[in-house]
Structure 1
Amino acid sequence: MPDSMPPLLPAPAYPPLAPERLYRHCDPAELNFDSTAELEPLARQLGQERAVEALTFGLAIGHPGYNLYLMGSSGVGKRELLQGILAEAAQRDHHAVYDWCYVNNFESPDSPLVLQLPRGLGCELRRDMAQAVEDLLATLPATFQSDEYQARVEELSENYREQERAMLQDLSERAAQHNIAMIQTPSGYTLAPTREGEVLSPQDFEALPEAEKKDTMALIEQLKDELKGVVRALPGQRKESRERFRQLNREFSQMAIDPLFAELKRKYREHEAVAAYLEAVHNDVLEEAEAFTETREESAIPENLKDRVREFPRYSVNVLVDNRDSSGAPVVYEDNPTFANLLGRSEHLSQMGALVTDFTLIKPGALHRANGGYLVLDADKVLTNPFAWTGLKRALMARELRIQSLDAQFSLVATVQLDPEPVPLDIKVLLVGDRNLFYLLQEYDPEFAALFKVVADMAEDVDRGPESTLLFARMLHTLAAENNLLELDRSAVARVIEHAARRMEDSAKLSLHRGRLQNLLAESDFLARRAGAGRIAASHVDAAIEAAIRRLDQLRERSQEGILRDIMLVATEGSVVGQVNGLSVYLLGDYAFGKPTRITATARLGAGRVLDIEREVDLGGKIHSKAVMIISALLADRYARERPLPLSASLVFEQSYGGIEGDSASVAELVALVSAIAAIPVRQDLAVTGSLNQHGTVQAIGGVNEKIEGFFDICRVRGLSGSQGVVVPRANEVHLMLRRDVREAVSAGQFHIYSAATIDQALELMTGYSVASIDARVSARVDALQRLARRYALKPQDSERDHRE
C-alpha cells in the first residue's frame, strides 16, 4: 500500500450483548402450579383460533364447492384439531345420513338400482328379503305338494286325456263302420281292413276282388288324412293344457306369494323406491316360482333352508353403506385414497375360466361411507395415487358417485362390467396438506379453487406471554394425558417452554409443533420412569434433548473435526486481508447445526465487475447470486456513485464442494471485498453473519443460534482467548436462545456476541477501524485504480500508429 494512503483510525468500542439478552428464561417460580396434574386440559388446540374459525365456517356453509383445505406443516396437529371439530359437527349435522343399497334390476341386470333408506333400514331390508326367500323355499314346495293342488292337476290331466281319447274314439268308430280298424302301435296309429272284426292278413287282402281292394285303399287313405288332422290337433291341445297348468301354478303360487309380499309392501309403503323394487321382485318370483320347488336331498330339512337362500342372489340386497350404529354424521379418514378406495369398485369372480360380476359384488368407497358427512384425505396421497384426484374432482363436480372400473376405461381386461345407478353425493371433503401443495394446486389446477373454497391455515407458533405460557402448560398436560405419560413438574414445564422457543428460533414465540412436543414428552417420560421418578423434571427433559441431539450429531462432529485438524481451513485468531469467517447452517431433517466457513475476496484493476465464483461453476443458488448483485450495487453506490469503478473482484466460499444458497453471508462477503480493495486486515477471532440490502442495512437471517454455537465449538476446543465472538444482525437479537455453555462463556468474558444494524458497524467490529478511515482508504484505492486505468488506456491514434509500426 503506498505511503500516501489515509491512515486507519481505531473504531469506537462496541459493547457485546449482555448474557441475559442471549436467552429468555422461563422462571419456574412464576408458574402457579406444582405439576401439570393440577391443570385443566385444553378443549381446543393452543393458538389455532384462525384455523378453527375457518373450519367452523366451512363445515357450516351448505353451498356447493365449499370443501376445505387444512394446511400446516407436518406434525403441527392438523388431524388432532380436525378430530375434535368434526366430532362436534357430526353430532350436530346428521339429518342427511342414509343407508345405501344396490339391488337387482330385473329389466337390465347390468345396471343395478340404488336404494336410499333411512339409517338402519338397509340391513333390515336385507334381512326381510332373505327371510322372504327362505319362506318361499318352505311354502312353495308345500303348496305344490298339497292335496288340493294334486287334485287340480289330476283333473286337468284327466280332461286332457279325455279330449284326446274322444277325438281318437270318434275316428275309430267311423273307421269300424267301414270295416277298417285303427290300431295303436309303438310308433303311433295305423289303419287296417277287417272282416267280421278280424284284421285281414296281407294274403287275405290280396285275395279280395280288385274293385274292393281299390275302394278299401281309398277309404284308408281318407281316414289316414283325418287321423293326421287329429294328430296335428293334439299339440294344440297340449299347449292349451300347458297354459292351463301354468295358470294353475300361478294361481297356487299367488296363494303362497301374495300374502308374503303384501306384508313386505305394507312395511315399506312409505318408501317409494323400495315399494317399486318389491313389486319387481314379486313379479319375478311369480315367473320363477318353479325354481323354489326344486327340492334337493341335502336341503330337505328346514335348517338347511338358510343355505339355499344363497342360491337366489338375484333377490338379495347389497347394503353398500350401513349407518345403523352411527349416532351422527359419518366421519371417514381414508389413509389409502386410491381410485377404487375413494369411488368404490365392482369385484369379479372366476367361473369356468371367465371373470363374472353382479350387483352383490359392488363394494363401497370412502365417498360412499362418508356420504352425508365428512371425508378427510391427505392431499399428497390423493395426488400421488393414479386417477384418484381426477375421480374425486369428477364426483364433487357432478355431486354423484358412479362406480367405474379403470380396467374398463382403458380396455385392459375384457370382462363383464356393470353400470350401476349413481349415488347422489352430499359430502364435505377436507384435504389436509402443507402450504406449498395448496399454492401449487391454486396455480396449476383451475378446478381446485372452485371445489375447495375454504382454506384453514394452522399457526406454527404463539406469542410468548404469561397467558400463553399457562395455556402451553395446559397443552402439555393434555398431551401427557392423551399419551399416558407422567405429569410434568413446574421445572420441566419451564424447560419445555424454553426449548419450544429455541425450536421456533424466536425467544418471543413458542412452537406449536405437537409432533415434536409429543416426542420430547415421551422420551422424557421414559427417562423419568427409568430413574424411578413419579414426575417428569427438568433434568429428564434436558437429558432427552441431549440424547436426541447425540443421535443425529455425528455429521456435525465429523465436520468440526475437519476444521480442528486443519483439513478445512478456518482461523480463529489473528488478522488477514480479504478473508472473513462466515457462518453456515446445515439442515438435516429435524436437526440443524452451524459451521464456520472461510470466505475470501480478491480485488484488482478491471471493469467494475464482482465475480461470483460459486455462480460461475453452477454451485451458487439464485438467492446467493442475487445477494452478490446487491453487494455489487452497494459497493458501486458507496464508493463510485459519480465515477466509474475500475475494479474487478472475486468472491468464493473456500473448500465448499456442494451448492451454496442463501443471502446470510452478504455481510461477510462485503467485509471481505472492502478488506481486499483497501488492504485492511480482518479479525479472524470473529465470525459474522447477516444479510444486506442496497442501502447497507443488516437484515435478519435464519439459524442464528446454531451458527453462533458452531463457531463457539471450534473456539472452545482450540481454547477460548477472551477476544473471540460472533457478529449477528441486530434484528436477530430477539431470536437468541443459546446453549448453556455458550452463555456461561459469555458471562465469564471468554466469548462475545455483538450485534450490528448497519454495514458500517459490521466493518468496524470486524476490522477494529473506524468506518470513516476505511471509506477513505477505499476511495483512495479507487482513485489509484482509476489512474492506472487511464495509464493503460490507449488512444485510437496510438493504436493505429502501433499497428503501422
Structure 2
Amino acid sequence: MVKRVSQQTMDARKVPVHLLRLMTQPEEFACETTREVEPLREGIIGQDRAVKAMDFGLKVRQSGYNLFLVGPSGTGKTTYARTKIREIANSKPVPLDWCYVYNFDRPDCPNVLSFPAGTVRIFEGQIDELLRDVEREVRKVFAGDDYEKHRRFVIQNYENKAKDIWKQVEDHARELNFSLERMPQGEIVTVPLQFGKPLSKEEYNQLSESLKKEIAEKGKQIENEVSEISRQIQLIEKEMEQEIAQLNKDSARYAVHHLFLPLLENYTDEKIQRYLYAYETDLIENYHFFKEAEDNEKSQMAQLLQGTPNNLTRYKVNVFVDNKELRGAPAIIENNPTYYNMFGKIEYKGSFGTMMTDFTMIKPGALHLANGGYLILQAGELLSNPLSWNVLKRTLKTGRIRIENIPEERGLVASAGLKPEPIPLNIKVVLIGTPDLYELLSELDEDFHKLFKVKVEFDTEMNKNSAHYQKFAAFVRNYCDEQGLLPFSRSALAALIDYSSRLVGDQRKLSTRFHEMTRLLVEASYWAEEAGVAIVDAGHVRQALDEQEYRSNRVDEKLRSLIEEGTIMVDVTGEKVGQINGLAVLQIGNYAFGQPHRITAQTFTGRQGIINIERETALSGQIHHKGLLILSGYLAGLFAQDKPLPLSASLTFEQTYSMIDGDSASSTELYALLSSLSDIPIKQAIAVTGSVNQWGEIQPIGGVNEKIEGFFAVCEAVGLTGEQGVIIPRQNVKNLMLRQEVVDAVKQGFFHIWQVSTIEEGIEILTGVVAGDRDEFGGFPDDTLFGRVNARLERMSDGANKIEEVIDAKR
C-alpha cells in the first residue's frame, strides 16, 4: 500500500484562474477611440536607457564617441535613430561645400577647396564664366590691330637683322668672286664667278691648278662664313620667337588679368587665392589654347583620338558636395555600404582602347555627403563588406577621407591614376546591429571600442503601467494617421495591450517590439473595413490574430492530427510506469507552437548510469546533456548517501528525429525515472515542463504559454476528461497569458494547471502518491514514493554486489 496525496493538497497547487491571463480593462483608457488621443510627441516608448545613451552620444563632441545601437529586430532602433538624429541635425549648422579643382603643379593630385554652405555652385558658375571671358578676351587681343602691328614690328626687326648679316656675307663673297645660291632643299652653295658670271664646268677645267686651288680655298672660307652666319640667323630667329612668345604672354596677361581681380577680392581664403593665381599663370602660359577657334577645335579632336583629356577641362570645377538644399547638418542613411558607396570613387571612360580619367570624374560617397553631420549604417550590411569596415576604421582614426580606386590598386585597370587631396572628416557614425554582432566586434576587433564608445541598448520589454498605456495609445494614433488606418476603440487598445504582454511573455511587462504591433494594427484595421465598420474593436484584433495563426499553423495542425489518429503516440488518459508527456516548443518562421512528446525511462541493475539515447545518437545538444547530468547528481544526493548508486537507466524522447536541446524537460525526465524506479504509474493526462537543479528545485523555462496551449489543443482534439492538465514551475505563473479558451476550460474544470517548486510536489501530482520525507535514520517511509525508490535501489545494489562476487570467484 502507498500513502495517497489529499485532494486538498492537489487543489492548493493549482494556479488560480485569475492568474492564467491578466486582462487589461478598457477603462484603463480615458478615450473612446484613438481619434481623441493626443499624438505621440516622443520618439520611442519604454526605452529610457537607450534614449539617455543616444542623447549623450549624439551631443558629445570628442572623437571616438560614435554610437552602436544594440537590440533585437523590431524594437524600433532604426526608426528612432532616424527620427532623433534628424531632429538634432536640424539644430546644427549646415557644413561646408566642397569641390575639386585642377592642380597646376601636380596634375595627378587634384586639390580640394571648401566654401560656405550653398556657395560652391556660385564659385563654379564664376569659374565657368571666367573661362568664357578668357576665351573671348584672348581671341580679341590676338585679333586686334595693336597686337598685329607689334608682332609685325618684332618680325620685321629681326628680319632686317638677318638681311644685314646675309648681305655682308654676300658682299664678301662677291669680293672673292663668288656668289651664294639657295637650293630647293634649303641648302646654300657657293658658285665661283669669272668676269661677274658663274664659272662653267668647262671653264673651270681649263684653269691652272694654282687657280683651282685658290678657288677651292676661297670657297671653303666662304662656306665657313656661311655656316657661321646661318648659326647667327638661327639665334636671331630664336630670339624673335622668344620675343613673340613674350609678346603673346604679355598680351594674354593684359587680356585676362583684370578678369581675375574681382574673384581675388571676393575670395580671401589663402588656398582659393593660390588656385586663382595658378589658374591665371597657367592661362598665360597656355594662351595658345584660346588663340584661334579653328586651331582649338583641331587640338580637341587630336586629344580625343589620342585618348588624352581636353586641355580646357583643367579650367573647370568639379562640385563635389553641395549642401545648398540642407537645413541643418546632414543625416545620411546608407543602406548599401559598399566601398565605393561609402568612400567615393574615380570614374573612368574608355577611349580608343584605353581608360582615361580626370579630376571632374571624382564622385563622392556617403561619408562625404554626411561630413559635418551624421551617418547611419546597418552593422550587418557594413560587415558583409569587409573592405568598407576596415577603411571606415582607418578613416575615423585619421580624420581624413581618402578616395582610392580599388581596381587600380590591384592592377585590374590600366588607367591614368589620380590621388585626390583628402578631405577633413567631422562626422558622427551610428551603427545599428544585434547584440551578437556587438559582442563579436567587442571580442575580435581591438579598434571597435576605441571608435564606438557609446553603446545604445534597446530593451525588448517595458513596465506595464498607466503611463505606458497612454503612450501606447498615442503610438497607435500616430501609426493610424500615417498609414491611413481606422481608429481603434479602447477595447481594441486593451486587446493590443494583452497581446503585447503575450509577446514579451510576462503579465507585468509590455513588448517594445513595435514591428509586431504595427503588423497587427494593419490587419485588425483591414478586418474592420471588411466588416464595414468605422472603428476597430477587440473582436477585430482577435480576428487578426486568428487569421495570422491560420496562415502559419499548417504544420501545427498536421502534427496534432497525427497525434489524434495515433501515428504519433501520445497518451492523454490512463496511467503508465516510466512514461510521461513532456512539452516542447517548435518554431517555424515567426510562428511558435507547443507540442507534447512521450518521454520514457527504463531502469535496471548495473553501474552504467543514465544513458541518454538522444546523446548516443547525436540528436542531443550540450544543454540537454547538462540537464541529464544534473539528474544523476540529484538521485545520488538523495539516495546514495549510505550506498553506491547501482543504477543503469535509459531515457529517450519517443518518435523524435531531429535535434533536441535545452533543459526544460529535465524535471520531466526525472519524474519518468522516479516512476520507473518506484514502479508507480504516472497519470498520462498530465504534461510537464520545467528544469531542475541538483537540490530538486524546479526552475523556470521559456515558452510556457505555447506549451500549455499545445497540450490543451491535443486534449481538446482527443476529448477533454476533466483530469487533464499541465504542471509548470511556480516562477512561470507571472508569464501566463493564455488564450481565452484555455482559461474558460480551466474555469469550468475541464483542464487544470498546477504550479510546483520542487520535484516532490510535482511527482505527487503526477502519481497521487506522497513523495516522502527522510526520517531520522536517513531513510524514507516504505509507503511513500521515495521509500519505494530507495527499496528498489537497495535491491539493485544487492544484486549488483552478488554479480560482482560471482565474477570475482570465476577469476
Question: Which amino acid in 1 is paired with 2:630?
Answer: I
For residue 134 of structure 1, what is the aligned residue in structure 2?
132
For residue 793 of structure 1, what is the aligned residue in structure 2?
804
Question: How far apart are residue 763 of structure 1 and its match?
Answer: 0.9
CA gap of 1:604–1:209, structure 2 versus 1, over 3 A, is closer
For residue 575 of structure 2, what is the aligned residue in structure 1?
575
Contact 2:330 2:371 in 1 (8 A): yes
Could you tell which deviates more after superposition, 243-252 or 459-468? 459-468
1:593-608 equivalent positions in 2, closer than 5 A: 593-607=593-607
Rounded to whole Å, the distance in 2 between the matches of 1:608 and 1:209 is 140
Question: Which amino acid in 2 is paired with 1:775?
Answer: F
Report how many residues are paired: 785
For residue 584 of structure 2, what is the aligned residue in structure 1?
584
Q: Secondary structure at the match of 2:524?
A: helix
Q: Secondary structure at the match of 2:447?
A: helix
1:263-274 equivalent positions in 2, closer than 5 A: 263-269=262-268, 271-274=269-272
Contact 2:177 2:194 in 1 (8 A): yes
Question: How far apart are residue 395 of structure 1 and its match?
Answer: 1.1
For residue 146 of structure 1, what is the aligned residue in structure 2?
144
For residue 169 of structure 2, what is the aligned residue in structure 1?
171
1:228-278, Cα deviation, whole Å (9 max, x unpaired): 321221111110000000010001000112111222222212x11111112
Question: How far apart are residue 672 of structure 1 and its match?
Answer: 0.5
Rounded to whole Å, the distance in 1 between the matches of 2:330 and 2:71 is 24
1:722-764, Cα deviation, whole Å (9 max, x unpaired): 1111111111111111112212212221111111122111111
Contact 1:12 1:770 in 2 (8 A): no
Q: Secondary structure at the match of 2:419?
A: coil
Contact 1:376 1:429 in 2 (8 A): yes
Question: Which amino acid in 1 is paired with 2:579?
Answer: Q
1:193-342 equivalent positions in 2, closer than 5 A: 193-194=192-193, 198-203=197-202, 215-216=214-215, 218-269=217-268, 271-296=269-294, 312-342=312-342
1:604-644, Cα deviation, whole Å (9 max, x unpaired): 11227121111121111111111111111111112222321
Rounded to whole Å, the distance in 1 between the matches of 2:295 and 2:366 is 44
1:187-219, Cα deviation, whole Å (9 max, x unpaired): 454444556655454455666677666555544
Q: Secondary structure at the match of 2:324?
A: coil
Question: How far apart are residue 34 of structure 1 and its match?
Answer: 1.0
Question: How far apart are residue 711 of structure 1 and its match?
Answer: 0.7
For residue 70 of structure 2, what is the aligned residue in structure 1?
71
Q: Secondary structure at the match of 2:135?
A: helix
CA gap of 1:799–1:77, structure 2 versus 1, over 3 A, is closer
Rounded to whole Å, the distance in 2 between the matches of 1:750 and 1:471 is 39
Q: Secondary structure at the match of 2:749?
A: coil
CA gap of 1:180–1:764, structure 2 versus 1, over 3 A, is same
For residue 97 of structure 2, what is the aligned residue in structure 1?
99
Rounded to whole Å, the distance in 2 between the matches of 1:718 and 1:217 is 138
Question: How far apart are residue 365 of structure 1 and its match?
Answer: 1.6
Rounded to whole Å, the distance in 2 between the matches of 1:622 and 1:11 is 39
For residue 780 of structure 2, what is the aligned residue in structure 1?
none
Q: Secondary structure at the match of 2:502?
A: helix
Rounded to whole Å, the distance in 2 between the matches of 1:19 and 1:139 is 97
1:482-540, Cα deviation, whole Å (9 max, x unpaired): 32322211121111111111111112111111211111111222222233322222222
For residue 680 of structure 2, what is the aligned residue in structure 1?
680
Rounded to whole Å, the distance in 1 between the matches of 2:35 and 2:732 is 36
Question: Which amino acid in 1 is paired with 2:672?
Answer: A
Could you tell which deviates more after superposition, 134-143 or 240-249? 134-143
1:115-130 equivalent positions in 2, closer than 5 A: 115-130=113-128
Q: Secondary structure at the match of 1:793?
A: helix
Question: Which amino acid in 1 is paired with 2:788?
Answer: R
Q: Secondary structure at the match of 2:641?
A: coil
1:80 paired with 2:79, answer yes
Question: Which amino acid in 2 is paired with 1:92?
Answer: S
Could you tell which deviates more after superposition, 177-186 or 439-448? 177-186
For residue 399 of structure 1, what is the aligned residue in structure 2?
399
Q: Secondary structure at the match of 2:376?
A: strand
For residue 558 of structure 2, what is the aligned residue in structure 1?
558
Q: CA RMSD in A?
A: 2.2
CA gap of 1:197–1:787, structure 2 versus 1, over 3 A, is closer
Q: Secondary structure at the match of 1:539?
A: helix
Contact 1:402 1:422 in 2 (8 A): yes
1:387-786 equivalent positions in 2, closer than 5 A: 387-607=387-607, 609-772=609-772, 773-786=784-797
Rounded to whole Å, the distance in 2 between the matches of 1:235 and 1:377 is 69
For residue 48 of structure 1, what is the aligned residue in structure 2?
47
Q: Secondary structure at the match of 2:109?
A: coil
CA gap of 1:620–1:253, structure 2 versus 1, over 3 A, is same
TM-score normalised according to structure 2 size:
0.93
1:87-146, Cα deviation, whole Å (9 max, x unpaired): 222123337x22222222222222222223322232222222222222222221111101
Contact 2:354 2:414 in 1 (8 A): no
CA gap of 1:382–1:149, structure 2 versus 1, over 3 A, is same
Could you tell which deviates more after superposition, 219-228 or 361-370? 219-228
1:311-347, Cα deviation, whole Å (9 max, x unpaired): 6211222222221221211111111111222122222
Identity percentage of aligned residues: 37
Rounded to whole Å, the distance in 2 between the matches of 1:693 and 1:11 is 27
